[in-house]
Amino acid sequence: MRSFTHGILLSRLLLIWAFLVLGIYVLPSTANATTQKLVLSGSSTMAPLLLEIGKRFEATHPETRIDVQTGGSSRGIADTINGLADIGMVSRALNPQEQHLHGSAVAHDGIGIILHASNPIQELTNTQIQSIYTGRINNWQQIGGREATITVVNKAQGRSTLDLFLHYFQLSNRDIRAHVIIGDNEQGIKTVSGNPHAIGYVSIGTAQYDASHGLPIRLLPLHKVPASIESVRTGNFPLSRPLTLVTKSQPTELTKTFIDFAQSAEVHDLIFKHYFVPFQD
């Protein structure tokens, strides 16, 4: 007899399953059809900021949805070109091959060299940084530091921080002798704060925030200019980048409204909250 109860149970389970599958097909169609959706994709540096800007935009523009996806600037460009995203987030200026895209800067960010706070080195010249990253200098002693092997932390391919760093120091990624490859900024900071002999480069805003919250890292000045949000704002800091929103063609309608909103003074407090500097012409 018991077997029969199992049989009934099984048919009930099948019924429940059928309802669930039906639900999957029916649910999507119940979504509000009048809602307009914008998909943003790209730079992980920009994603948290744009997520917040998107929320504020949704609050003032009902019937709109701003979906923010992440994965790196190259992904933002690729998704914009193949249509998966309406707007790409690219944390650098567009390069000559990308000039067919339309870019609008929303904020500025600097890239700073970071060391562990216990490292006695207070300053490095550009040549020294080049030598460290190409492996010609591999011990801190060679440049007046402690007797310890240097741990070189580099960014992963496709990250615009890497492109900017390479461009500024006139290096090619093939020449770099890295020991650790990192993705996002916080990961770089965690790597350097956990290794007294490491050197890395990350977004200045993030580094400044973490340093002021007790993480053992120190930002080095570049070309004698202190690495701080302040010097990025004044435009003195040599290694800075515009955080850019890109579109495939001239932005229109909702895309234009959103980009205008992201460039307006209404979001300056959000930009400061994420340790960037608002864009000013």
Q: Which stretch binds other proteins (CB under 8 A): 117-125, 193-201, 260-268, 272-280?
A: 272-280
Is 31 one of the binding residues for other proteins (CB under 8 A)?
A: yes
Closest CA to 261 of 34, 38, 54: 54
- CA–CA separation, 112 and 220 (whole Å): 7
Nearest distance, CB of residue 213 and other proteins, angstroms: 7
Query: Letter for the amino acid at 177?
Result: R
Q: Between residue 130 and residue 189, which ones bind other proteins under the rule CB under 8 A?
A: 183-187, 189
Number of residues counted as binding other proteins (CB under 8 A): 48
- The residues with which 26 forms a beta bridge, in sequence order, are none
Whole-angstrom Cα distance, residue 258 to residue 40? Answer: 11
Please identify which residue in 56, 64, 69, 179 interacts with other proteins, judged by CB under 8 A.
69
Residue 152 forms beta bridges with which residues? Answer: 199
Q: Which of 91, 161, 206, 247 binds other proteins (CB under 8 A)?
A: 206
Q: Would you count residue 248 as binding other proteins (CB under 8 A)? A: no
**In angstroms, what is the minimal distance from the CB of 252 to other proteins?**
20
Contact 245, 262 (CB under 8 A): yes
Minimum distance of other proteins from residue 68's CB (angstroms) = 6
Can you tell me the distance from the alpha carbon of 209 to that of 45, in angstroms, rounded to the nearest whole number?
14
CA distance 207 to 229: 10
Complex with other proteins: residue 186 or 230, whichever CB lies closer: 186
Task: Outline where 38-182 has alpha helix (H).
Answer: 47-60, 73-82, 126-134, 160-168
Q: Binding residues for other proteins, per CB under 8 A?
A: 1-4, 6-7, 10, 17, 20-21, 24, 27-28, 30-32, 39, 44-45, 47-49, 51-52, 55, 65, 67-71, 82, 84, 183-187, 189-190, 205-206, 209-210, 213, 273-275
